[in-house]
């Protein structure tokens, strides 16, 4: 197992066990989460169930004795088990492009099993989110001390970080811990929990066991790897048994899982963060899979927020309420969805026709307000009557007159054969009798119309509010345009002023044949430590205490070597030599060789700064903008990298002695600069035995966070009087001194360690 994880487990509460599975069972029967080892292999457990076995088989613990470690949070054994199982990396994301919260939401909705690791390009720590069947558990190791955070606090820290995270899909093998009697068959009886998708349904004649049946319990079927979307899920809280009444549901889920896997084989690989949960093609003939049910509900919930899915939801509610009459409703077997919620087809068409007549536009002629929409037969009859001769119509009118006891008006004659508008509104037929069914239908239509009217009124109010908001935004944009136009005018005036100043400055420039920018001049320059005479005072003499400061300064020279010709060269409006001697790189190098040896020796710190003090006489040259080669191990192989620094000081053989990050601006040195310097220093010290110190130099000051980072790196207070001052320890004999220097009043002063 990974050494860092072994180290983390060693800090958990521990106790010994013996008697194999029986002894372990007595410890974990209280919902234990943690790890157990027999000295060689490891078992990871969550809520008393095995989620992973490392460096051994489960049978190896049948009669074993060893140590049990209780985890401070159940996220850790799940995460460690997944990491040891070498899950498949599905995709990488940058948090600025795909926020962690967005990916977390999609993975949770999709019933994902695996974990997210956020550690690449992150300086503050390592962050993890583990998923089992969509349920998430977060853990984080923060800072150089790797402070453990779990739960919501860990997730919030991860969500606020900027970096690159990787999504790993893991196939967990979740199983109950065998008891003493099951020791011989633990591995054979309990297989991977995702076999439902490949093995099919269990034999109906098999004897029930204490372990979950394939496809019906802890693990849902997983789509083929080409699918690209993490779909497997583990329910760590579920417990399956022969008496839990889920056999039929298990077989249904198992069948759906086979269909899901078959359909997933034909799908192109998709991004896990976008494809999670979208498994509409995976539905088999027997109905949707559990994943599809969960995802469908989630999508319906999202659409309900803007009202767009109300109709579909109502239709589903109607289907569920009529489910008692659907085939298979009492037995639990899947039936025909159309047959379950559809009435007799003839009734459907008649009700539809009546609904459309109720929704028809009212007649504009008041005389027709009371008429019912006529049936096809009535319309044919009316056409036949219109084709009759005038005499026939006359006879019909006279018949109507005699029936009503008088000579009706043309209008009354026209409407006499139809019930009045009032009688229709009262739900009565031509005979005046109440029609309860029609009354109910009309009341339902009225209620639906009122609901629609209210919806339209709400929509009108919403659009009015949006209109007001757009008008307000338009006014704000108009004000912004005026402000920007005013700023543009100011910038044009500033541009003209700068052009005049530049023209004047060019007139004052020295007569130079060529010019370079400050950055170009620095990058092509190296400094060398040389002496006027080898018989005079040297750094070695100063180290031994046989030369004073003035004697060393008279004999020591800081020479420069450039990759370009310096004759007739101007940098930043000054001759090159004048520019170079005024740089922070040149000043710091002179202070390091001419003043620091005497400050260390004069304060009696030769012992506490032994590694740094002994390396000073070895300085031969300083590279401005130099790089240092380091060795790292990645995937069991050694690789070399180059790390860049503002200044690298080397011995005559080119080995790095010191590195320095320099800040010559007015801005304070931030915490991130110290974090980077500390980590780079660790890597250099691990690869180069000659490396003695890392310097952070500022012409401003150090932020409190930077000072705290330095304190954490050296393992105590900044002013500690330990055996070695401000020493970053890698091992008992290996490390380097971390020094903070301030440049002020034309000189340099070491503030950490305090000499």
Residues 34 and 120 in one domain: no
Domain count, the chain: 4
Within 8 A by CB and 6+ apart from 490, the residues are none
CA 509 to each of CA 199, 522, 569: distance values in angstroms, whole numbers, following the listed order = 85, 20, 11
The pLDDT value given to residue 30: 81
Last residue of a domain, one of 143, 160, 177: 177
Residues 625 and 569 in one domain: yes
- Flag whether pLDDT at 194 surpasses 60: no
Please provide residue 143's backbone torsions phi and psi, each rounded to the nearest 5 degrees. Answer: 75, 175
Residues 598 and 638 in one domain: yes
CB-side neighbour CA atoms (13 Å) of 178: 22
- Flag whether pLDDT at 431 surpasses 90: no
Residue 11: pLDDT band with limits 50, 70, 90: very high
In a domain, 188, yes or no: no
Which of the two residues, 692 and 233, has the higher pLDDT score? 692
Residue 211: pLDDT band with limits 50, 70, 90: very low
Which of the two residues, 91 and 432, has the higher pLDDT score? 91
**Per 3-state DSSP, what percentage of the chain is helix, strand, and coil (rounded to 5)?**
45, 20, 35
Task: Sort 559 into a burial class: Cβ within 10 Å, 0-12 / 13-18 / 19+.
Answer: exposed
Residues 81 and 93 in one domain: no
User: Residue 20's domain spans which residues?
Assistant: 1-86
Residue 716: pLDDT band with limits 50, 70, 90: low
Cα-trace Rg, the chain: 42
Residues 591 and 692 in one domain: yes
Residue 127: pLDDT band with limits 50, 70, 90: very high
The pLDDT value given to residue 724: 81
In a domain, 278, yes or no: no
Last residue of a domain, one of 139, 161, 177: 177
Last residue of a domain, one of 21, 51, 86: 86
Taking the model in full, what pTM does it have? 0.37
What's the distance, CA 414 to chain centroid?
75
Residues 67 and 99 in one domain: no
- Flag whether pLDDT at 438 surpasses 70: yes
The pLDDT value given to residue 354: 47
Residue 502: pLDDT band with limits 50, 70, 90: confident
CB-side neighbour CA atoms (13 Å) of 669: 26
In a domain, 26, yes or no: yes
Which of the two residues, 68 and 563, has the higher pLDDT score? 68
- Flag whether pLDDT at 58 surpasses 70: yes
Beta strand residue intervals within 85-163, DSSP E: 88-94, 114-120, 125-132, 135-142, 147-150
In a domain, 430, yes or no: no
The pLDDT value given to residue 673: 92
Residues 593 and 647 in one domain: yes
pLDDT in tens, 334-368: 444 343 344 444 444 444 444 334 333 333 333 44
How does the average pLDDT of the chain come out, rounded? 73
Residues 530 and 487 in one domain: no
Residues 65 and 93 in one domain: no
- Flag whether pLDDT at 400 surpasses 50: no
The pLDDT value given to residue 433: 55
The pLDDT value given to residue 565: 85
In a domain, 389, yes or no: no
In a domain, 437, yes or no: no
Residues 81 and 146 in one domain: no
- Angstrom distance (rounded) from CA 295 to CA 289: 10
Residue 377: pLDDT band with limits 50, 70, 90: low
Query: What angle do the packed helices 75-84 and 3-10 form, to 10 degrees?
Result: 160
Average pLDDT of 416-427? 38
In a domain, 65, yes or no: yes
- Flag whether pLDDT at 82 surpasses 80: yes
Residues 9 and 118 in one domain: no
pLDDT in tens, 639-691: 888 999 999 999 999 999 999 999 988 899 999 999 999 999 999 998 899 99
In a domain, 748, yes or no: yes
pLDDT in tens, 312-340: 333 333 334 343 333 333 433 444 434 33
pLDDT in tens, 292-312: 433 344 343 343 444 333 333
Residues 637 and 556 in one domain: yes
């Amino acid at each position: 197992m990974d050494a860092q994880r072994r180290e983390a487990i060693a800090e958990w509460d521990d106790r010994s066990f013996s008697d194999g599975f029986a002894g372990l069972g007595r410890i974990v029967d209280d919902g234990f989460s943690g790890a157990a080892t027999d000295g060689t292999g490891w078992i990871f457990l969550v809520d008393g169930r095995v989620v992973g076995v490392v460096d051994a088989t489960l049978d190896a613990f049948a009669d074993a004795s060893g140590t049990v470690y209780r985890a401070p949070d159940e996220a850790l054994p799940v995460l460690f088990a997944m990491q040891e199982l070498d899950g498949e990396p599905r995709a990488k994301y940058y948090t600025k492009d795909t926020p962690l919260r967005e990916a977390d939401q999609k993975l949770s909705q999709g019933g994902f099993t695996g974990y997210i690791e956020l550690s690449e390009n992150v300086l503050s720590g390592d962050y993890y989110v583990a998923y089992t069947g969509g349920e998430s558990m977060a853990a984080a190791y923060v800072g150089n001390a790797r402070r453990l955070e779990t739960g919501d606090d860990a997730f919030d820290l991860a969500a606020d970080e900027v970096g690159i995270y990787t999504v790993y899909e893991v196939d967990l093998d979740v199983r109950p811990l065998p008891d003493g009697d099951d020791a011989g068959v633990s591995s054979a009886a309990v297989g991977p929990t995702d076999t439902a998708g490949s093995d099919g349904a269990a034999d109906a004649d098999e004897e029930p066991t204490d372990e979950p049946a394939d496809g019906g319990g802890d693990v849902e079927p997983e789509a083929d790897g080409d699918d690209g979307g993490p779909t497997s899920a583990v329910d760590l809280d579920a417990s399956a048994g022969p008496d839990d009444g889920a056999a039929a549901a298990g077989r249904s889920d198992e069948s759906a899982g086979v269909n899901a896997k078959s359909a997933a084989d034909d799908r192109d690989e998709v991004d896990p963060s976008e494809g999670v949960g979208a498994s509409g093609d995976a539905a088999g003939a027997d109905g949707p899979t559990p994943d599809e049910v969960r995802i469908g509900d989630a999508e319906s919930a999202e659409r309900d927020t803007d009202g767009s899915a109300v109709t579909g939801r109502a239709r589903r509610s109607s289907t569920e309420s009529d489910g008692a009459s659907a085939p298979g409703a009492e037995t639990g077997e899947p039936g025909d969805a159309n047959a379950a919620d559809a009435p007799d087809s003839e009734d459907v068409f008649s009700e539809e026709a009546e609904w459309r007549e109720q929704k028809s536009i009212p007649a504009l002629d008041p005389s027709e307000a009371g008429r019912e929409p006529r049936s096809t037969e009535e319309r044919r009859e009316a056409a036949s009557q219109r084709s009759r001769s005038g005499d026939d119509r006359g006879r019909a009118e006279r018949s109507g007159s005699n029936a009503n006891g008088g000579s009706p008006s043309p209008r009354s004659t026209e409407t006499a054969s139809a019930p009045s508008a009032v009688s229709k509104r009262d739900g009565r037929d031509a005979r005046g009798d109440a029609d309860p069914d029609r009354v109910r239908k009309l009341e339902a239509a009225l209620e639906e119309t009122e609901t629609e009217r209210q919806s339209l009124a709400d929509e009108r109010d919403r659009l009015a509010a949006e209109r007001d908001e757009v008008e307000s935004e338009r006014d704000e944009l108009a004000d912004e345009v005026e402000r920007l136009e005013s700023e543009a005018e100011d910038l044009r005036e500033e541009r003209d002023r700068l052009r005049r100043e530049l023209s004047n400055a060019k007139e004052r420039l020295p007569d130079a044949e060529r010019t370079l920018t400050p950055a170009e001049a620095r990058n092509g320059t190296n400094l060398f430590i040389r002496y006027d005479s080898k018989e005079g005072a040297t750094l070695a003499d100063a180290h031994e205490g046989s030369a004073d400061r003035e004697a060393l300064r008279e004999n020591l020279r800081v020479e420069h070597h450039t990759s370009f010709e310096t004759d007739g060269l101007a940098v930043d409006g000054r001759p090159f030599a004048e520019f170079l001697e005024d740089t922070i790189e040149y000043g710091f190098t002179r202070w390091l060789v001419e003043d620091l040896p005497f400050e260390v020796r004069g304060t009696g710190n030769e012992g506490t700064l032994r590694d740094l003090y002994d390396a000073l006489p070895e300085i031969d040259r300083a590279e401005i903008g130099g790089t240092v080669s380091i060795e790292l191990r990645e995937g069991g192989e050694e690789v070399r990298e180059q790390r860049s620094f503002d200044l690298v000081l080397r011995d005559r053989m080119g080995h790095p002695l010191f590195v320095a990050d320099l800040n010559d601006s007015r801005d304070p040195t931030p915490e991130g600069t110290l974090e980077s310097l500390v980590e780079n220093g660790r890597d250099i010290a691990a690869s180069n035995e000659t490396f003695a110190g890392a310097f952070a130099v500022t012409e401003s000051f150090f932020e409190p966070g930077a000072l705290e980072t330095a304190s954490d790196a050296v393992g105590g207070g900044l002013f500690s009087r330990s055996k070695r001052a401000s020493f970053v320890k890698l091992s008992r004999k290996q490390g380097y001194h971390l020094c903070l220097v301030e440049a002020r009043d034309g000189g340099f002063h070491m503030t950490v360690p305090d000499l």
